[in-house]
Amino acid sequence: MSPIFRVPGGGTFFIGNIRAAASLETLREHNITHIINAQDVDSENFHEHTNGGEFAYLRFPIAHWWRAPDVAVSAGVRAFYAPLFSFAERALQRGENVMVHCLAGAHRAGTSGISLVMYFMNLSAPQAVGYVRERRPIVDPIGSFPDLLKRLEKALREKKA
């Protein structure tokens, strides 16, 4: 598990793998309270129904982004990412730590993490990829993910204009 950034006066965002997500010890050691599962919708949220609600979960199956409505336009890209950004922002601003994971913490979780860096740090896609890779070298947005990151960059830029 790798810390990626900290919100000033708030929580820390991490990228991890399935082992980190499954380990109560690891989650507690890093004070993780919010977990983003970037795998497919049928994958397990390991501690979702245990420990009295100790962990909040968001399913964000990023690999299916191309199925989302209107992702050909910036408004559709922003709508696709809205749950991710909202979930992370609420927790981080309250000082709670957030982790995104997939199987290896490289492709799906890595691309989700890059997207959050773009959103929170106002970086371009290439800048965000470099920033995240400095902190977690195995991150590698493969396949259609570079296209998604370009679309997000455009959508974030247009929102600010």
pLDDT tens digit sequence for 11-37? 999 999 999 999 999 999 999 999 999
Q: What is the pLDDT of residue 50?
A: 73
Output the pLDDT for position 124.
98
Question: How many domains are there within the chain?
Answer: 1
Range of the domain at 13: 2-160
CA–CA separation, 161 and 130 (whole Å): 25
Q: What is the pLDDT of residue 48?
A: 84
pLDDT in the model for residue 83 = 98
Tokens of 79: 């709508």
- Give residue 145's identity as a one-letter amino acid code: F
CATH of residue 148: 3.90.190.10
Task: Work out the average pLDDT over 113-129.
Answer: 98
- Compute how many other C-beta atoms are within 10 angstroms of the C-beta atom of residue 107: 20
What pLDDT is attached to residue 51? 66
Nearest 5 degrees, angle CA 30-CA 32-CA 35?
140
Confidence grade of residue 88 (pLDDT, cut at 50, 70, 90): very high
Name the average pLDDT for the chain.
95
pLDDT category, 127, cuts 50, 70, 90?
very high
**Confidence at 109, pLDDT banded by 50, 70, 90:** very high
